[in-house]
Amino acid sequence: MDSGGIRRRLALGAAVLAATGVLGLVTSGTAEASTVGGCAGREVRTLPFSSGVTHVYKRDGYVCAVTVARHPGSTQTMSVSVQVRGGRPVVDKGRYQHLAGPVTVHAGRRCVWVKGSVGSHGSANSGWILC
């Protein structure tokens, strides 16, 4: 084998090794990095219902929620809301294909009420939680 072939193989090996290292750094993050719909934190509640599911996350006094359709693809009315006790609800409502949200509020140590819906028949609400 000539020196050009050896150099190409060494360069290819170095590139593969570098790509593997970068991929390892990207995928070795915590579960917080891979949450649904862009919410940061750890998942503290899942509110399933017939046409979807609402995921609730908490981190450093902030509560975040996102509603995901069970059968994405067609545009349908979806919503997600988070209300801190004593405050007004923060709502994302519209016609979406896959998910509504994320909606984030600062709750501190106060209770929150989370609601989610997909279509006209499926919805969930948490009642006062995370008190």
Summarize pLDDT for 105-131 with one digit per residue, the tens.
999 999 999 999 999 889 999 999 999
Residues paired with residue 85 on neighbouring β-strands, in sequence order: none
On the question of pLDDT at 31 being above 80, the answer is no
Determine the topology of domain 35-129 in CATH. Answer: Immunoglobulin-like (2.60.40)
Instruction: Give the amino acid at 15.
Output: A
Half-sphere exposure of 118 (CA within 13 A, CB side): 24
Structure confidence by residue, pLDDT tens digits, 68-101:
999 998 899 999 999 999 999 999 999 999 999 9
User: Percent of the chain scored above 90 by pLDDT?
Assistant: 67
CA triple 104-127-67, angle to 5 deg: 45
In this prediction, residue 37 has a pLDDT band, given cuts at 50, 70 and 90, of confident
Q: Residues for the chain: how many in total? A: 131
Q: The whole model's pTM is what?
A: 0.73
Q: What is the mean pLDDT of the chain?
A: 82
Which is nearest to 64 in space by CA: 87, 45, 85, 86?
A: 45
